[in-house]
Every structure is written in C-alpha cells, then in structure tokens.
Amino acid sequence: MNFSEERNKRTAYIESILQRYLPPAEGYQKIIMEAMEYSLMAGGKRLRPMLMWETFRLFGGQGRKIEPFMAAIEMIHTYSLVHDDLPAMDNDEYRRGRKTTHIVYGEDMGILAGDALLNYAFETACSAFDDEETDPVQAGRALQILARKAGIYGMIGGQVVDVKESGHAVSGETLDFIYRLKTSALIESSMMIGAVLAGADKDQVSAMEKIGEKIGLAFQIQDDILDVTGNEEDLGKPVHSDEKNEKTTYVTWKGLEKAREDVARMTEEAVKELRRFDAPDDFLEQLLVSLVGRKK
C-alpha cells in the first residue's frame, strides 16, 4: 500500500463529506455560514474523521452511515480551534496557514462561528436518525459519546483547566489531566463512534477508548515538541505559543528528549493494542505511526 497516496484519498473523501454537510450560505444570517465554511474548509489533517472511518472499517462497518458523525467530529474540532484562537484565549492570528476566523470576520462573528459549528455538529450527527440504514440505538449511543467527550468531562473540561493553570507552573498530574481531556477525549470519541456504528461490542469500544487515549497523549506531546522545534510554514500557525502563554508543557516538564521517547513509546503501546484486532489492511497502524514524526 502506498500510505501517502491512500492518506490523500481519504483526506479528499473527508473534505467532500464536509462540503456536503455544510449549510448553504443564504438568508439574513449568511455571514455565519460563510465563516463556518472558511474555518472548516481551511485544510488541516482531518485526523479525527480519518480515525473514525478507519475504526469503522476495522470492525467491518460498511456503507455511509458513519458520514454524518465524521462531519460532526471535524466541526467540533474546528470550533475548538476557532475559539482557542480568540483574543480571550490564545489570541492567535494564523491557523491552518491562513488568517484566523476572528481576524477575517471580527471577534463577534468568530465567537458565533465557533458556537454555530458546535451546534451544527449535533444537528448533522442527528441526521443519522433520518437514515434507514442506521440503527437508532447505535446512533443514540454515538451521540452520547460525542456529547460527553466534547463537554465538561472531556475537551471543554481540559481547556478550562489549561486556561486557569496558564501563567504558572503546574504539576505533572495536572498536566496529564489537561492532556487526557483537552486532546485525548475527542480522539477517543472518534474511535469509539467508529466502533459503535460498525456494531462493535462494549469491550471492543472500551479497547478503542484506551487506544484513543494513548494516541491523544502522544499527539499532544508531539504538538508541544513542534511548538518548540517546528516552523511556522509547516505548521500553518505561530510557534513558541506555549512560551508566550507561559504554559507548562510536557517538554518544559520532562525535556525534549524524554518527550520524544514518550511519544514513540505511547504510540508503540497503542499499536500493540490495535494488533489484537483483525484489521482489513495496515492503513490505521501506519497512520498512528506517521503521527510520531509528524512536522505539522
């Protein structure tokens, strides 16, 4: 398999889904649809819907019933980036290689575009109930996972502690809490929802949650590493933003070398867990491994 060719194909497939689920830009509120499209279609790795799709395939899922959830997870992820870039949070002007949403549309529309993407994500996921192919119990379970992992016991909870603990040193335990919620939770939910909609059982869904947690931690530590060692051109966003925001990160806590070792170790552990399942091909494994040395 040519991994990068396969990855490009999947990225194009995901972008076609996003485009299809975006609301048409019309009506008096047209500007909000434009701001939603601006942020959602700005590129990005599309990692979360890709993980969802691959986990769906891992458990023998077929057909298109997963698509509204793939769109929904990327909308939620994008809203979190739009809000994270706002002046009240990280106050960043560039993301995914272009001006941030609030710079282009103003702070008011930046806030509303984030809100709109979050709400529209749930409207989109709920459209699964209109699809005759989808088991409504599975769709309900998937929605429950999405809501929980994006909320105060997931991504928002992690962001709250991250914001409150900026500007001073934090313990390793607090950092671990932030990373598990802020970053791992959405990745866990991607894999869990893929499994649920493919008809996986409880133990299988919980195995995906554990793999997602490890991948999320490795992904966040790599993000910390890139903030120190990466460049703006590759990343499409400013570097040294953790230093600017006086954040304790895994790199400031453990040092660069240990951080690199731990990204590789956590990824290896996740891949080992994954090998217990009979994958249709090795794309998912290669995807996880590719995240270790990623430059963006």
The answer to the question of residue 100 lying near ligand GRG (CB under 6 A) is: no
Query: 3-class DSSP state for residue 94?
Result: strand
List 50, 81, 112, 288, residue binding ligand GRG (CB under 6 A): 81
Which residue, chain included where needed, has tokens 């599309």? 46
Q: How many residues in the shown chain lie near ligand GRG by CB under 6 A?
A: 15
φ/ψ of residue 99, rounded to 5: -55, 140
For the CB of residue 182, give the shortest distance to ligand GRG in the complex, in Å.
5
Contacting ligand GRG within 144-183 (CB under 6 A): 155-156, 159, 182-183
Tell me how far apart the alpha carbons of residues 68 and 127 are, in angstroms, rounded to a whole number: 7
CB of 97 to ligand GRG, least distance (A): 9
With contacts defined by CB under 6 A, name the span among 26-34, 42-50, 59-67, 121-129 that binds ligand GRG: 42-50
Region binding ligand GRG by CB under 6 A among candidate stretches 19-27, 39-47, 49-57, 257-265 = 39-47
- The identity of residue 180, as a single letter, is R
Closest CA to 237 of 296, 182, 170: 296
Instruction: Determine the distance from the C-alpha atom of residue 257 to the mean position of all C-alpha atoms in its chain, rounded to a whole number.
Output: 25
For ligand GRG, the closer CB: 226 or 274: 226
Q: Which of residues 101-140 bind ligand GRG (CB under 6 A)?
A: none
> From CA 41, how far away is CA 244, in angstroms rounded?
28
Contact 56, 195 (CB under 8 A): yes
Interaction of residue 44 with ligand GRG, rule CB under 6 A? yes
Nearest in space to 72 (alpha carbons), one of 50, 49, 101: 49
Contact positions with ligand GRG (CB under 6 A) in 204-243? 220, 223
Q: Whose Cβ is closer to ligand GRG: residue 189's or residue 204's?
A: 189
Nearer to ligand GRG, 141 or 296 (CB): 296
The dihedral built from the CA positions of residue 285, 260, 76 and 213, taken in this order, carries a sign that is positive
Only segment of 26-34, 80-88, 100-108, 268-276 that touches ligand GRG (CB under 6 A): 80-88
Question: How far apart are the C-alpha atoms of 155 and 151, rounded to whole Å?
Answer: 6
SS3 199: coil
Residue least distant from ligand GRG (Cβ):
44
Binding site for ligand GRG (CB under 6 A): 44-45, 47, 80-81, 83-84, 96, 155-156, 159, 182-183, 220, 223
